[in-house]
Structure 1
Amino acid sequence: GSGSFTRSGVNYQAGAKTPMSAIFAAIFLMIVLLLFSNYAAYLPKPAMGGIILLVGYNLIDFHHIKQVVKTSGREIIVLSTTLFGTLFFELETALFSGIALSLFFYLEKTAKPNIAELGMSKNHRFINVIRDSSIKVCPQLKIVRIDGSIYFGALEVVSDYFNNLYEKEEVKHVLIIAKGINFIDLAGATWLSHETYKWQKRGGGIYFAGLKIVSQQILKKGGFREEIGEENFYEDKLTAIDEIYKKLDKNICKDCEAKIFHEC
């Protein structure tokens, strides 16, 4: 009983701070069993059962459960699965079921990163084009923001977007605002290298602005950054636009009515 959840709950409520509390509880329990076992036999089992039920009841965080019910439908499913699992199955089965379900929902969410196309507003700010119909965009440079990691689970969504963009042949240059990219795995780095080469072969390119250093670890260690081109990585979007503008078709720029960049 010294390592049970109820014992941990009692220790926590008593002010325990470290795992040493469980060791002391085990020592005291051993002393009671060795020296006072004859007296412990007279303890009424209903009273002991009531104490255990009370401790178990105090372990339930009703405030957090109310927050889960109000805010997240997926968390309700995880909570319900874990709760009913503890009632009808082994405790380990219930815990692993809840963990597996949480992992499934996490992968499902991260596998669909948000990809927003940006344009220039009247206030000279880059915002999502779906937020305002009056936003102007460059006919030669597509500016997109990726909010999410580029890993094996998200490649289908990201690659489909870029394939559709490539097949439309509306633009040759794509600037990725990469501040929202937290992680790039080996599959994502390989895809970025191939995709960049494909756009460069057509006379354009894919560029990155504001990509976090931590997100570039696989790119650097695997040599993908060199394959993509060191010159295609920029610290911020203004510097990137200034350099990319030099590569645009000036004949198209001459007749362009958007004029969204300072360089135009």
Structure 2
Amino acid sequence: MDIVTSPRIEAMVFDAMFTLLLAKGSRRKMMAKIFLKHLRRIAKRLGIKFRPSKGFARRLMRITKRVREATPPTQDYGRDWSRVNRRIAAEMLGVSEELVLMEEGLAIHQEVLSDPDHYEVPRNIREMLKLAKKLGFRLAIASNQNEADLLPMLAKHKIGDFFEKVLCSDKLGICKPDPDFFKRAYAEIGVASESVCYIGNSIRNDLSAAWIGSRVVLIDYDGGLKINETGGGLYLVKVVRNIEELCDWLGEQAKSPIKGPAKASDAAVSRRAVNE
């Protein structure tokens, strides 16, 4: 494995959803609750009977993962999720996709990402952000979320004031995982990509920050993240399990540049590492 030395990190740029803002209870339970409500509405419109089977939440997450991986992203994040949710709903109801309206898929997406009451912040998140600022890191957010939805969430959970910039895909005009999303965000912040550490939770969306020279930290809250070494251009990615580990890592980076993987949780990954 190649050892990579990068410049000292100047800015910490965060993903928002499921990184700074976590589903209350669990993501699976939140998604199951929202989908169940919308599936009942769709079934009623179609005049069909719908009763959730045993293991509904587990089946929903399994179908979601498969459908999402089979749906290539475009530059319209809301429409992408509308298509995904439409296909999920059709499969869960046992009907053809054409019977589920695009606006019904979009309604699911909007409820998942726009209701602050579905979310909470991770334990010690404010302490971590205070530490990062104390250590001299600039803080910003770059998210696929819409600005009109994200800003109220940050305000409700009292973390918005920590960030000098909150950059959303609807304003940037481009979405993750396109590497140009990160280029535009960093240009807005006024920082070179090599001096940024991007902190997220998704290989699918967040890993491409490494393709333009940024360090990437993925927070694996659920312990299910899988990163493969698949060959090609390798990039270093740090995986941490929680905010406490991120705090420890921040302290290390404030003292010295990153010098390759020091622990088993460091992984070399490539552009083809697309597991989520």
Q: One fold, TM greater than 0.5?
A: no
Q: With structure 2 as the length reference, what TM-score do the two structures score?
A: 0.32
Q: With structure 1 as the length reference, what TM-score do the two structures score?
A: 0.33
Structure number with higher relative contact order (C-alpha < 8 Å, ≥ 6 residues apart): 2
Larger radius of gyration: 1
